[in-house]
Structure 1
Amino acid sequence: MDRNTALTALNMKKTTVSVVVGEGLDARMIEIETGYLAKQANGSVVVRCGETFVMSTVCDGDPRLGLDFFPLTVDYREKMYAAGRIPGNFFRREQRPSEHETLISRLTDRPLRPLFAPGYKRDTSCQSVVISFDGANEPDVLSMVGVSAALCISSIPFDGPIGAVRIGLVDGKFLVNPTCAQRGNSVLDLIVAGTNDAITMVECGAQEVTEAVMVDALMLAHREIKKVVAAIKELVAKVGKPKMQIEAPVESPWVKKIAAECSAEIKTALLTKNKAARYAAVKAAKVAICARYLAAVSGDDAAKAAAKSEIEGAFGDAKDIVFRDLILDGKRV
Structure 2
Amino acid sequence: MGIKSKTIIVNGQTITLEIGRYAEQATAAVLAKANDTVVLVTVVSGQEIPSLGYFPLSVEYQEKLYASGIIKGSRWVKREGKPTDEAVLKARLIDRSIRPLFPEGYMKEVQVVAQVLSFDQTTDPDVLALCAASAALSLSPIPWNGPIAAVRVKNDNLDLVISGSQDALVMVEAGANQVPETEVLAALTSGHAEIKK
The TM-score range, normalised by the shorter chain, is over 0.9
Count residues in correspondence: 196
| 1:18 equivalenced with 2:7 (yes/no) | yes
Q: How does 1:177-326 map to 2 (within 5 A)?
A: 186-227=156-197
Question: Does the CA contact (< 8 Å) of 1:191 and 1:202 recur in 2?
Answer: yes
In 2, the alpha carbon distance for the partners of 1:157 and 1:93 equals: 37
Tell me which of the two structures has the higher relative contact order, counting C-alpha pairs closer than 8 angstroms and 6 or more residues apart.
Answer: 2
Q: Which runs of 5+ in 2 are unaligned?
A: none
In 1, the alpha carbon distance for the partners of 2:178 and 2:9 equals: 29
In 1, the alpha carbon distance for the partners of 2:43 and 2:25 equals: 10
Q: Which runs of 5+ in 1 are unaligned?
A: 1-10, 170-185, 228-333
Q: Deviations over 1:50-103 (max 9, x none)?
A: 010000000011122323100000000100111122112463422111111100
**Aligned-residue CA RMSD (Å):** 1.3
* Percent identity of equivalent pairs: 41
Answer with 1 or 2: which has the greater Rg.
1
Q: 1:126 aligns with which of 112, 115, 125?
A: 112
**1:99 is matched by which residue type in structure 2?**
D
Instruction: Provide the residue aligned with 1:8 in structure 2.
Output: none
| 1:56 equivalenced with 2:29 (yes/no) | no
Q: Deviations over 1:228-260 (max 9, x none)?
A: xxxxxxxxxxxxxxxxxxxxxxxxxxxxxxxxx
| 1:78 equivalenced with 2:63 (yes/no) | yes
In 2, the alpha carbon distance for the partners of 1:54 and 1:217 equals: 26
In 2, the alpha carbon distance for the partners of 1:136 and 1:86 equals: 19
Give 4+ residue runs of structure 1 displaced > 3 Å after superposition.
89-92
Q: How does 1:142-181 map to 2 (within 5 A)?
A: 142-169=128-155
Question: 3-state SS of the aligned residue for 1:144?
Answer: helix
Instruction: Provide the residue aligned with 1:33 in structure 2.
Output: 18
Q: Deviations over 1:12-69 (max 9, x none)?
A: x2211122111xxxx2111111110111111100111001000000001112232310
Question: Does the CA contact (< 8 Å) of 1:87 and 1:93 recur in 2?
Answer: no
In 2, the alpha carbon distance for the partners of 1:46 and 1:206 equals: 31
- TM (normalized to structure 1)? 0.57
CA shift, 1:118, in A, is 2.4
- TM (normalized to structure 2)? 0.95
